[in-house]
Chains A and B, each alone.
Chain A
């Protein structure tokens, strides 16, 4: 293609972006070279229609920039995150908040299935899912198998534990692993004992009663 046409197309493309899109990727100015920046902006634009928020993608690009990664690696990471955010959006629904999508993308990356996310959402349509999703990802990062991590979290959530107890659960598992327990066994054992907390009638993650399927 003629270089002049390319330049014109690039100039036109730059102004075809809506102002709010430009504002969103403003933060990339000066941090990325022009080509990488254009590639990241293209990814942000291409997934916006699918309900994927741009800020997490920009954060990922900035992380790469700060850590001195080259443009290709940054673009690959942003693309991977965009894919997972889109999958999280599809599984968690149109009402999912940005933190939920980010936590969902982390869980998917950790090996959770879309079914895990869909099940969480179906069982708890009105509760924020950031903590269960985050705990699942954190457990996998410590060595628990994805299926075991997902199953443990689901068990606890269905049993009606509070967000704080999910956190405590994760900490207990981490401590057990640090002390030498096999990751999977630690998760399963702690889930079983933590699940027992929910029968005390304290306010649960699913609402004001321990019953998870409150309408």
Chain B
């Protein structure tokens, strides 16, 4: 490299540029106001989740029980979750701002896996990250997570113990599988967000 690193003029210019005036005092407040208007940790994209009309039924891992056969349950409209708010997760989602409520539908992912240590959801809505969306477990080994999503069609899978991808036994499959592992699909209809609970 040239002697520009030792060049006194350049050094003075750089020193002066480093002494910029500070950010305005309300800068943080403005950023956080904008941030709070977003859905928690999710990109605002036009996807659709399918609103299922029935109450939740759990299908055991590995099989489609005859009595079940349901895709992810979607709760439309009111954001107060049907489940008692566990620490974090559901309670925070319920506190989402009003603006997001109009465009997003709450989807509840459910997965029965008593033997798992951790289960996360990975899919098109979170860049297929294996760790960012941890599910919460209840005493019986049922894992759940509420996710607010805009209308659209998403592929996803559950990640068990950080390594193993498992399709949702209660959801439709993606056609074909690109990477050697089956994937599930959930679709959210745009019209769903206009319907009241129980009407679909």
Measured CB to CB, the residues of A under 8 A from B are 27, 31, 55-56, 58-60, 62-67, 69, 73-74, 77, 80, 97-99, 102-103, 106, 109-110, 128, 130-131, 134-135, 137-138, 140-142, 162-164, 167-168, 170-171, 174-175, 178-179
Which positions in B face A, CB cutoff 8 Å?
A: 45-48, 50-53, 64, 66, 69-71, 122, 124, 127-130, 151-153, 155, 165, 172-176, 178-181, 183, 185, 187, 189-192, 195, 200
Q: How long is the Cα–Cα vector from A109 to B122 in the complex, in angstroms?
A: 22
A33 to chain B, nearest CB (A): 16
Residues of A within 8 A of B71 (CB): 171
The CA-CA distance from A66 to B53 in the complex, in Å, is 32
Question: If A63-B128, A99-B152 touch, does A130 touch B200 (CB 8 Å cutoff)?
Answer: no
Q: What A residues does B64 contact at CB under 8 A?
A: 174, 178
B165 near A131 (CB under 8 angstroms)? no
B187 near A141 (CB under 8 angstroms)?
no
In the complex, the answer to whether A59 meets B128 with C-beta atoms within 8 Å is: yes
A167 touches B52 (CB 8 A): yes
Partner of A98, one of B152, B176, B185, B195: B152
User: In the complex, which of the residues A55, A97, A131, A138 contacts B189, with contact meaning CB atoms closer than 8 Å?
Assistant: A131
Determine whether the beta carbon of A163 is less than 8 Å from that of B192: yes
Contact of B53 among A128, A130, A168 (CB under 8 A): A168
Is B51 in contact with A167, judged by CB distance below 8 angstroms? Answer: yes
- Chain B nearest CB from A72 CB (Å) reads 12
| Known contacts A138-B185, A178-B64: A102-B179 contact under CB 8 Å | no
**A163: which of B122, B153, B180, B191 is its contact (CB, 8 Å)?**
B191
Number of residue pairs across A and B with beta carbons under 8 Å? 130
User: How far does the alpha carbon of A130 sit from the alpha carbon of B45 in the complex, in Å?
Assistant: 14
Q: With both chains docked as a complex, state the minimum distance between the C-beta of A205 and any C-beta of chain B, in angstroms.
A: 8
What residues of chain B lie closer than 8 Å to A179, measured between beta carbons? 66
CA distance A165 to B52 in the complex (A): 10
Of chain B, the residue at the smallest CB distance from A31 is B127
Residues on A with C-beta less than 8 A from B191 are 128, 162-164
Task: Assess the A138–B127 pair: CB atoms within 8 A.
Answer: no
Q: Which of A67, A73, A106, A130 contacts B48 (CB 8 A)?
A: A130
Contact at B124–A99, with CB atoms within 8 Å?
no
Residues on A with beta carbons closer than 8 Å to the beta carbon of B176 = 109-110
A174 and B172 within 8 A (CB)? yes
CB neighbours of A131 from chain B (8 A): 48, 50, 187, 189
Q: How many angstroms from the CA of A56 to the CA of B180 in the assembled complex? A: 19
Known A-B contacts A138-B185, A141-B174, A175-B66; the reply to A97 vs B179 at CB < 8 A is no
User: Can you list 5 residue pairs at the A/B interface with Cβ under 8 Å?
Assistant: A77-B178, A77-B179, A128-B151, A164-B191, A174-B64
The one of A66, A99, A141 in contact with B128, judged by C-beta atoms closer than 8 angstroms, is: A66
A164 touches B200 (CB 8 A): yes
The smallest beta-carbon distance between A94 and chain B, in angstroms, is: 16
Given contacts A69-B179, A73-B178, A175-B69, contact A59 B152 (CB under 8 A): no
- B156 → chain A closest CB, angstroms: 9
Tell whether A60 pairs with B178 under 8 Å between CB atoms, given A66-B130, A99-B48: yes
List B contacts of A97 (CB < 8 A).
Answer: 46
A183 nearest CB across to chain B (Å): 13
- Inter-chain contacts of A128 with B (CB < 8 A): 48, 151, 189-191
Minimum CB–CB distance from A197 to chain B (whole Å) comes to: 13
CB-based contact B175/A130 at 8 Å = no
15 extra interchain contacts, Cβ-Cβ under 8 A, other than A65-B128, A128-B191, A141-B173?
A62-B129, A67-B165, A67-B181, A73-B178, A99-B48, A99-B151, A103-B153, A106-B174, A137-B175, A137-B185, A141-B174, A142-B173, A163-B189, A164-B192, A171-B70
